Structure formats: C-alpha cells, structure tokens
C-alpha cells in the first residue's frame, strides 16, 4: 500500500467522520477547556472576574456540596451494587424457568421503559405514608411503614427501590450473557461433583465477567449523573413546581436526595454562580474519568481483534 494511497484513505475517513469531529470540538473539547477556564472566575453571564482559586476554596466550605458528594457516593456504593446483584439474580431465575421464561422476561423488563418522571411520580404515590398502597399493605401484616420519600433516612433507600424496579434492561443483558455460557462446562463440572455455588463461582462469574464489568462501569457512571429521579421525588414529595420564579429547597427532605449534578444545576442555572458550578463539574468529571479509564483499557486491547473478525 503506497503512502499516497494511505493519505487519500485518511482524508476520505476524515470527510466521513467530520460531523462527529465537529461535535467533538464544539460539545466536548471546547466546553471542557472552557469549564477549566471559568472555574478560576466569578461569572454570572454578565460580568467575568478572575478570582484565582476562590471557587475551589469555597467548595471545601460549602456544606451543600459536601452533602451532595456524600449522597452521590452513597448511590455509587449502595444503589449500584444492589441493582446489579438484583438484576443478576433475576436473570439467573429466568434461565431456570422451564415454563413461561419469555413472559417473565417481558414482565421484568417492562418497568425499565416507563419514563423516569412517570415512574418516580408513581413511586412517590405508592410509597406515600398517608394513603399509599405499600404502607397500607404493611399495615395489614402489622408493620407500620416509614415515611419513605419524606424521611431523610429512607429517601435514598426509596430511590433504590425505584431503581430495582427499573433494572430490567440490565437483567436482559445478563440473561443473554448467561445463555451464552456453554452448557457442557456445567455438565462437566457436575460430573466432577461441583455444587451450585462452586459452579456459579468457577464457571458463571468468569464467563460473564466482561458483561458484568461493562454493566458495573456504566451503572456507576449513571449513578454519578443521577438527577431526574432525585429531583422529581423531592419536588413531588414537597409539592413544588418547575415554573419560573418558584422557590424550591433542593434535596427534600433535609438535603438527603441532593446529588452532585443537582447542586451543580442549582449553583449554575438558578443562582448563576457559573464559575463555582464549573468547579463542581470538574469534580464530577474527575470521578467519571476514573471509571471511564477502566472501560477504555478494556476496549484498547480488544479493538484490533474485533477489527479483523
């Protein structure tokens, strides 16, 4: 292949990639650099003033930012693992069903399609302490249910329940991976006298680990940008609206549902402290890059093989 020909191919590829390259420059590279630039400034859309590291110093003394970071970490550390284990359990169960497996798969998958806002509004109703069906059911068996979305100790577990209800898409991914594991491996292990747990640990887990890893990384990234469900739950449970000019205390109840992206949104687009919002954005960026790198390492190795397949 001559150099000239390769150069032509390169230019040709450039032409095909040009829409994406423009998108990369305008909606990724430039905004990232601008975010770093604004983080050293005070900016409210009218005046721009260089203030050095003041925004960064403020972060350390902003109680709401610290609570928001803590809440986001809670979601990463608890909600994501609970959702993944639950999805894997559901998928395992479906593989064992001799009758109606397809129907059950559909039922478990369906809630993941329900629009986030609609699903969250529904859960605030279902779990409302006064007339909600869940506490009503608990009363029947003699348990007095908690205040769910109205109690700071229960609001994040309530969001986790909502997340488990909508985990069907991950369940479908796991199910496909489980069905891909060659049956003869299990048969051989059974002949060797391996128990169910042993077979799961030594065959199932290693065989599905690439899929598991991909789902874990994307799950963490989604938890880092967790916004809609927390915001809607807080709004509906506290009875406030999105209309211009209304006041709303974010993170109801008692900031327990305030996540980092939400606080960024309030700082930047309601208080117009845009420089400070950029500092919060960089914190979010750093956290997400750690997990993105895990994924990049995997795809870097596999890409070439995949190319010649």
Partner 1 sequence: MRGTRARRALYWIATHALALALAAMFLAPLVFVGLTSLMTDQQALTSQLWPHSWNWDNFAEVFERSPLLRWLANTLLYAVLGTAAMLLSSIPVAYALARFRFPGRRLAFLLVITMMMLPPQVVAVPVYLIWARAGLTGTLWPLILPMLLGDAFSIFLLRQFLLTIPKEYVEAARVDGCSDLRTLIRVILPMARPAVAAVALFQFFYCWNDYYGPLLYASTNLDNWTLSLGLASFKALHSVQWNLTMAATLLVMAPVIIVFFLAQRVFIEGVTLTGVKG
The residue count for binding partner 1 (CB under 8 A) is 111
**Quick check: 227 and 258 in contact, CB under 8 A?**
no
Stretch that binds partner 1, among 152-160, 184-192, 249-257, 272-280 (CB under 8 A): 272-280
**Residue of 50, 81, 106, 153 interacting with partner 1 (CB under 8 A):** 106
Q: How far is the CB of 273 from partner 1 (least distance, A)?
A: 10
Q: Quick one: 306 exposed, middle or buried, by C-beta within 10 A (0-12, 13-18, 19+)?
A: exposed
Q: How far is the CB of 17 from partner 1 (least distance, A)?
A: 5
Stretch that binds partner 1, among 62-70, 93-101, 145-153, 195-203 (CB under 8 A): 93-101
Per DSSP, helices labelled H in the chain are: 3-24, 30-39, 54-60, 63-74, 80-96, 101-109, 116-126, 133-140, 155-165, 168-180, 183-191, 196-199, 205-224, 228-238, 260-269, 274-308
- Give the residue from 175, 240, 183 showing the smallest Cα distance to 208: 175
CB atoms within 10 A of CB 19: 9
Instruction: Return the sign of the alpha-carbon dihedral for residues 31, 37, 42, 45.
Output: negative
Q: Does 146 bind partner 1 (CB under 8 A)?
A: no
Q: Does 117 bind partner 1 (CB under 8 A)?
A: yes
Q: Does 44 bind partner 1 (CB under 8 A)?
A: no
**Residue of 53, 176, 196, 205 interacting with partner 1 (CB under 8 A):** 176
Q: Which residues contact 233 (CB under 8 A, 6 or more apart)?
A: 120, 123, 124, 149, 155, 158, 159, 162, 257
Stretch that binds partner 1, among 149-157, 184-192, 194-202, 279-287 (CB under 8 A): 279-287
**Residue of 56, 104, 186, 200 interacting with partner 1 (CB under 8 A):** 104
- Segment 49 to 88, residues that bind partner 1, using CB under 8 A: none
- Give the residue from 227, 244, 243, 220 showing the smallest Cα distance to 295: 220
Q: Does 178 bind partner 1 (CB under 8 A)?
A: no
**Residue of 78, 113, 188, 257 interacting with partner 1 (CB under 8 A):** 113
Nearer Cβ to partner 1 (152/218):
218
Q: Does 249 bind partner 1 (CB under 8 A)?
A: no
Q: Which residues contact 112 (CB under 8 A, 6 or more apart)?
A: 166, 167, 168, 169
Q: Does 186 bind partner 1 (CB under 8 A)?
A: no
Instruction: Return the sign of the alpha-carbon dihedral for residues 69, 70, 76, 80.
Output: negative
Query: CA–CA distance from 220 to each of 90, 176, 284 (Å)?
Result: 20, 21, 12
Q: How far is the CB of 14 from partner 1 (least distance, A)?
A: 8
Instruction: Return the sign of the alpha-carbon dihedral for residues 63, 64, 69, 70.
Output: positive
Q: Does 94 bind partner 1 (CB under 8 A)?
A: yes
Q: Does 193 bind partner 1 (CB under 8 A)?
A: no
Stretch that binds partner 1, among 53-61, 74-82, 111-119, 150-158 (CB under 8 A): 111-119
Q: Does 192 bind partner 1 (CB under 8 A)?
A: no
**Residue of 52, 142, 193, 239 interacting with partner 1 (CB under 8 A):** 239
Q: Does 182 bind partner 1 (CB under 8 A)?
A: no
Site string for partner 1, 3-32 (x = CB under 8 A): ---x--xx-xxx-xx-xx-xxx-xxx-xxx
- Segment 196 to 235, residues that bind partner 1, using CB under 8 A: 210-211, 214-215, 217-218, 221, 224-225, 227-228, 231-232, 235
């Amino acid at each position: 292949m001559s150099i000239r020909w390769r150069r032509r191919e390169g230019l040709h590829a450039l032409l095909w990639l040009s829409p994406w390259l423009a998108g990369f420059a305008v909606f990724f590279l430039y905004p990232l650099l601008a975010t770093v630039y604004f983080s050293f400034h005070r900016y409210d859309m009218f005046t721009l003033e260089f203030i050095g590291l003041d925004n960064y110093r403020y972060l350390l003394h902003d109680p709401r930012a610290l609570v928001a970071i803590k809440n986001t970490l809670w979601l990463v550390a608890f909600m994501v693992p609970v959702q993944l284990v639950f999805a894997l359990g559901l998928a395992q169960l479906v593989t064992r069903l001799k009758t109606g497996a397809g129907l059950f798969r559909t039922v478990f998958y369906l809630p993941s399609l329900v629009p986030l806002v609609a699903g969250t509004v529904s859960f605030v109703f279902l779990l409302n302490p006064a007339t909600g069906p869940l506490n009503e059911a608990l009363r029947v068996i003699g348990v007095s249910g908690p205040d769910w979305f109205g109690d700071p100790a229960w609001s994040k577990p309530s969001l986790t329940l909502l997340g488990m209800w909508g985990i069907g898409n991950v369940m479908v991914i796991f199910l496909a991976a489980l069905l891909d594991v060659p049956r003869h491996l299990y048969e051989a292990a059974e002949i060797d006298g391996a128990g169910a747990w042993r077979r799961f640990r030594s065959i199932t887990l290693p065989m599905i680990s690439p899929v598991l890893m991909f789902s874990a990384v994307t799950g963490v990234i989604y938890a880092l940008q967790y916004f809609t469900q927390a915001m809607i739950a807080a709004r509906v449970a506290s009875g406030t609206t999105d209309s211009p000019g209304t006041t709303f205390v974010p993170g109801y109840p008692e900031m327990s549902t305030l996540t980092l992206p939400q606080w960024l949104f309030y700082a930047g687009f309601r208080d117009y402290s845009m420089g400070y919002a950029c500092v919060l954005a960089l914190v979010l960026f750093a956290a997400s890059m750690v997990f993105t790198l895990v994924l990049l390492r995997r795809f870097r190795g596999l890409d070439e093989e995949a190319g010649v397949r």
